[in-house]
Homo-oligomer: A and B are copies of this chain.
Amino acid sequence: MNHYPASIRKVINHLNKLPGIGLKTAERLAMHLLSAPESEVFELSRSIGELKKTIRLCSQCFALSDSGLCRICGNPSRDNTLICVVENQADMVAIEKSGAFTGVYHILHGLLSPMDNIGPDDIRIKELLSRIGQGNIREVVIATPTNVEGEATASYLSDCLVRFNITITRIASGVPMGGELKYVDQVTLKKAMEARHAI
């Protein structure tokens, strides 16, 4: 690292802090930036610098947004009576990419995890309950992950939601599409077998 001038070392150090960017990759990226067009490097720097300044949370669903209401909550063609509860923005984007959901979202920004001292007050559960309490909600799809924390959160949520007169659903578990059965773990296979349906 001492073989680079200070300003290159600085870029390498900061790139190296990003997830999945090791020292070698950081060096390669810094070298690329040095030979890249000035405008491209400037735009990269500026877009990163402005990221935190312009991003806020949607006042309704807590998705990342650059205005008061996110594009989904602000879209009149989305079904406002159907809420999908997800752990984070990335999971929301994954569902959006599937194109299978026409309702709106609620981003918890975390999962219940007693081991990490994360309780119901640390994630956006209160906000979800008050949102449902305002009425006009028909169904809540709980799409938290299928790991321990995700299942615990789903179970806690369904207990909280039972007092409302709404349908509570959980996304299905089973064998991933295109997957060979011999490579699928036992728990998933068990779930898939239990949830078998007539064809």
Contact = CB atoms under 8 A, between A and B. Distances in A.
Given A3-B92, A14-B44, A19-B28, A8 B49 contact: no
B31 A89 contact: yes
A40 to B, nearest CB: 7
A51 B34 contact: yes
Interface stretch (A64-72, A111-119, A133-141): A64-72
Interface string A132-150: 0000000000000000000
A32 interface: yes
Interface string A78-105: 0000000000111011001100000000
Q: Report the copy number of this chain in the oligomer.
A: 2
Interface of A: 3-8, 10-11, 13-15, 17-21, 25, 27-34, 38, 40-52, 54-55, 64-67, 70-71, 88-90, 92-93, 96-97
18 contacts: A4-B64, A5-B55, A5-B70, A7-B51, A7-B66, A14-B43, A14-B44, A15-B44, A17-B40, A18-B32, A19-B29, A20-B28, A21-B29, A31-B89, A34-B52, A41-B48, A45-B45, A45-B49
